[in-house]
Chain A
């Protein structure tokens, strides 16, 4: 398959997917998108190890392989 044709197939699919994702978001508006990201970051903040400072300090692995 020529390179250009190949590129178009995957790129096209990716762009279609991107549009699908963005369509409902377009209705939502910028504020809603920001709220979604905010919610996700809050969720992540909630599950982040509580004592991260101590955990990071104690995180020592032995070399392997």
Chain B
């Protein structure tokens, strides 16, 4: 049985320091994350008790030990946001996780809020460091020198679906969806085949079909089994194969179509019908196929173009889901068909919609004007700077300003997502508690909140095991009626008596 597709995106941003002696990215990321304040500061910790990154969806646990940070480091590297998201230092990158969202449009809004938060942090950090130092933050996935950092998507799924069905049903979709989800990249890396320009930032880094790791031997399907919810009912599918997108239209379609395909898998209609002969090889060849008409071999026989495979998924989504689809899902179906039609005619028609095409059009126009070739450093700079989160410097924002890209959101709409949580998931409860009872919150995780009450010396933990509860509809009035966390906990205690 399909469950509501609660979704979130986590993005690791690239970070560079210009002009300072200390170029250490860990220090810079720590400064950036700690510069940001969306509420009166207090000691809210991240609750690592709820994490199990070594659990594998195939039914075992990896031997790798993951140590939780001590309390001091926990405080330094983590921030929990009043929009219900999480902001923290992940290795050598600042990372922003959106709160849980219930539809693709809402997720675009919270993803864009992340860019605003990073830019505010960047500005404050530069003030701290002095005027000779600049911090440059890119929402991209590669340094073009063989190092990649991720933009992961998370989707709530029905636990009872066999994991192998997810692997079989989703892999061909993920391998081919890049034709409308890729962010574009000049060149190639990580020992893969040469390319002047390719569709995806990430494709060069995928080396296996299924696996637990996200850092080495990256798998197309990640098996991390960390539901952050009731593990008997839910799975959180962790999709690590995607690019970080600047275009709202691209993010919208990426998460919207993936959610629909996962629903089809939950309904049992995909199975292994599109299984590919060699997904790892195909993900790289599709990324290099700028006309999107190269052929990929299917296991059951036949060679299909990525557009044909996507169209098969679309047709199944139309057949099984259009009668029950909400307005946003209907809109996703329309736009999905629209991009496949355009890709078939000429992909460059999507130079207002899809990141890799927008970027390619821009670079080629610039190259023509200044008579450059693909190997010029300014071409690589254009590629990088397309992803700069500074609205004054970022080339994507410059195109927006000039009306050159299609948008999903209304102008300025993402600002409200910086300060207000989504209303239709448990992120509402998390964000509103942080707004109202910040001083009485000890720690937070995706599925728990720990309160430090004035009236009690022990900590009170509230679990939020269903991502679809804790909504404004369910808890709005309760929160309105409780001035302090003590009152809130008392209310819940009495409710459970």
Contact = CB atoms under 8 A, between A and B. Distances in A.
A62 to B, nearest CB: 4
B18 to A, nearest CB: 7
B381 A47 contact: no
Interface string A2-32: 0100110111001000000100000000000
Contacts of B341: 7, 11
Contacts of B315: 3
Contacts of A57: 377
B317 to A, nearest CB: 10
Given A10-B335, A56-B380, A63-B149, A45 B370 contact: yes
B366 A41 contact: yes
Given A64-B90, A65-B240, A6 B333 contact: yes
A56 B380 CA distance: 7
Given A56-B381, A64-B92, A47 B398 contact: yes
Interface in B105-145: 142-145
Interface residues of A, number: 32
A52 B377 contact: yes
Nearest to A54: B377
Contact of B385 (A9, A41, A48): A48
A3 B337 CA distance: 9
A60 B92 CA distance: 11
A35 B333 CA distance: 37
A3 B341 CA distance: 13
A52 B370 CA distance: 15
Nearest to A21: B403
B41 interface: no
B362 A64 contact: no
Contact of A7 (B14, B152, B334, B378): B334
13 contacts: A6-B318, A43-B398, A44-B395, A44-B398, A49-B393, A53-B377, A55-B16, A60-B143, A60-B145, A63-B149, A64-B92, A64-B150, A65-B149
Interface of B: 12, 14-16, 18, 25, 90-93, 95, 142-145, 147-150, 152, 214-215, 240, 315, 318, 322, 330-331, 333-335, 337-338, 341, 362, 365-366, 369-370, 377-378, 380-382, 384-385, 392-393, 395, 398, 402-404
